[in-house]
Amino acid sequence: MLPQKQAEEAIVSNFSEGADHEGKELGAEENKDGENASLFSVKNFLWHGGSAWDAWFSCASNQVAQVLLTLPYSFSQLGLLSGILLQLFYGIVGSWTAYLISVLYIEYRSRKEKENVNFKNHVIQWFEVLDGLLGPYWKAVGLAFNCTFLLFGSVIQLIACASNIYYINDNLDKRTWTYIFGACCATTVFIPSFHNYRIWSFLGLGMTTYTAWYMTIAAAVHGQVEGVTHSAPHKMVLYFTGATNILYTFGGHAVTVEIMHAMWKPQKFKYIYLFATLYVFTLTIPSASVVYWAFGDELLNHSNAFSLLPKNAWRDAAVILMLIHQFITFGFACTPLYFVWEKVIGMHDTRSICLRALARLPVVIPIWFLAIIFPFFGPINSAVGALLVSFTVYIIPSLAHMLTYRKASARQNAAEKPPFFLPSWTAMFVINSFIVVWVLVIGFGFGGWASMTNFVRQVDTFGLFAKCYQCKPPKPVVAPAPHN
């Protein structure tokens, strides 16, 4: 039996994947030295991030992007009380399943290192953890759900970029803006790994913090619109659509393993996602609540909160910052897909950044195409939440944890014991079982029915390949009066 401390120390090995690709071989002690040396190196400070703070910024930044703009829309479907309670509920549940993923990663890593497996120049991903702990069928399931979720997550970022920039410059339609931002976001192929997102994660969280508090203050200063009504909830379809959008909000776990792998000491990740979620609550709950208070049922026809807030320099600044942040989030969502594709074509251990970037380009093309087909990210958020996030983020991690530790020998030799606040394997099994049943029935069942109903309704109303979804109608051309 390997004691827990020894297991944790065994995991702290050649972890600097981004640095590995540049030809650096860092052991555990060298990583510690590198962490200190980063204080004196501009390149390391901006580029090589592997601390617990880097992971916190990555988790918090990745958790709130365009969904920040759709939460008031969800509140108009759910009502204020349900909106706040569901945010708290799914935020805590999401933090728990992120903890489970971190435990399973450490278990997988410790087992492989006992077998002298070297992960130099290789990024461990969630489907590989499932494969190593539970077998190839689980690998296939994890790969299918994760990749599909990340694919549509990237699509949503492109749609949101076009939707947001339109509120500053409507000389071009949203479809044209999608073409432009698709080309811009394709440049993320040059970022090697999550190890290299240090400065981007920091800036991204600052951008969403500004946007959230801008929305809160702007809506409060604007006040309630004349004749405002708050009738939600009044339709089951809308209620469960809004609920699955909130389920999606706290479902950034598709990149959890990759963020952990970029850390110098991944065993420190266990509670990072919870701390990130607590900060995110300070952004999402005030902004969604105040915007809903100000505009009420008008939000039912405006899935993007920017469309109702007054146009001024403060709003334009928020739009621009969100555009930059969505570029960052696109990179977050696409990078695991890049890794999978590199492994498929045998390019994952290539050290040349330019060669890897060229190999990654085919991943961007279908994302670009899907963003043009489905230009409405509000309904897509709910559909992705119900059909993909429910399994990827909540159900699969809970089931995987129960099955991995179903035997007494596995529990006895576990690299990570139950947390201090719940020191019982039985209690963990009970909580995991509750999450599986709840999300399967409420999230996937009712949420899937509601979100797909709403999604089909949007397609029937606006059509695929919509040139400018939810745009203002063009001003009528007034014919000149005839001369007598």
Q: What angle do CA 290, 293, 297 make, to 5 degrees?
A: 130
pLDDT digits (tens, 9 = 90+) for 28-43: 433 444 444 444 465 6
- The pTM score is 0.83
Residue 473 pLDDT:
60
Q: Is the pLDDT of residue 285 over 90?
A: yes
DSSP character string of 397-449: HHHHHHHHT-SHHHHHT-SSPPPTTS--HHHHHHHHHHHHHHIIIIIIIIHHH
**Separation CA 432–CA 103 (nearest Å):** 14
pLDDT digits (tens, 9 = 90+) for 138-186: 999 999 998 888 888 888 888 878 877 877 877 777 778 888 888 888 8
Average confidence score pLDDT of the chain: 82
Share of the chain above pLDDT 70, in %: 82
Q: Is the pLDDT of residue 465 over 80?
A: no
**Separation CA 308–CA 302 (nearest Å):** 8
Instruction: Report the residue count for the chain.
Output: 484
**Separation CA 235–CA 450 (nearest Å):** 10
Q: What is the CA radius of gyration of the chain?
A: 23
Q: Is the pLDDT of residue 12 over 70?
A: no
pLDDT digits (tens, 9 = 90+) for 47-91: 667 888 988 998 898 888 778 888 999 999 999 999 999 999 999
Helix (H, G, I), strand (E, B) or coil at 116: coil
- Name the more confident of 454 and 330: 330
Q: Is the pLDDT of residue 414 over 70?
A: yes
Question: Quick one: CATH architecture of 51-462?
Answer: Up-down Bundle (1.20)
Tokens of 388: 């993909």
Contact 333, 147 (CB under 8 A): no
Give the pLDDT band (50/70/90) at residue 119.
confident
Residue type, 137: Y
